[in-house]
Amino acid sequence: MTTRIRRWVETDTGHRVPNHKSKCRHIHGHRYRWEAELEGEIVTERGVSEEGMLMDFSDITKILVEHIHDVVDHAFVVFEEDMEAREALSMMGDGHRTVVVPFIPTAENLAKWAFEQVEPHIRSSYGNSLSLRAFHVRETPKSWASWS
């Protein structure tokens, strides 16, 4: 049997889907929720801080803050081939937080990207099996995408 836990951070992040048939082709932003879902076995080593846990929630938060939040919060994520948006963003100067990615920044692609950023950092300190099972990205209260 395995156990699953989830932990999330939120960001305010801009993007656009340049070839979208509707309004998402315009520059806009969302209050994203970036949610890691871990799976594994509970730590059974007696007397350690993580006894009874898969991984300490605060340790997961540190990973999410460093590798997701601090990268994309109050930033604009732009597809490397979206030259119109990149040109417009370049006018904002060096102080503007622009994150150039090799994919169109849809919720689906961002979920995969986030998984790839976080997965190498999910490790057990106590020998229990532990893995990042999935990554979920909420773009709006009614719209989620997952990568597993």
* pLDDT tens track for 80-117: 999 999 999 999 988 899 999 999 999 999 999 999 99
Distance CA 24, CA 99 (A): 18
What mean pLDDT do residues 107-135 have?
96
Position 50 scores a pLDDT of: 93
Position 103 scores a pLDDT of: 98
Contact between 143 and 104 (Cβ < 8 Å): no
pLDDT of 33 over the 90 cut: yes
Share of the chain above pLDDT 70, in %: 99
Share of the chain above pLDDT 90, in %: 95
Position 145 scores a pLDDT of: 98
What mean pLDDT do residues 59-82 have?
98
Q: Considering its fold, how many domains does the chain have in total?
A: 1
Contact between 18 and 28 (Cβ < 8 Å): no
> Backbone dihedral region of 115: left (phi > 0), alpha (psi from -120 to 50 degrees) or beta?
alpha
pTM of the model: 0.95
The helix (H) or strand (E) run that includes residue 144 is strand 143-147
Closest by alpha carbon to 4, among 135, 137, 139, 121? 135
- Domain residue limits at 18: 3-147
Position 94 scores a pLDDT of: 86
State the CATH number of the domain containing residue 52: 3.30.479.10
Position 142 scores a pLDDT of: 96
Q: How confident is the model at residue 2 (pLDDT cuts 50, 70, 90)?
A: confident
pLDDT of 1 over the 80 cut: no
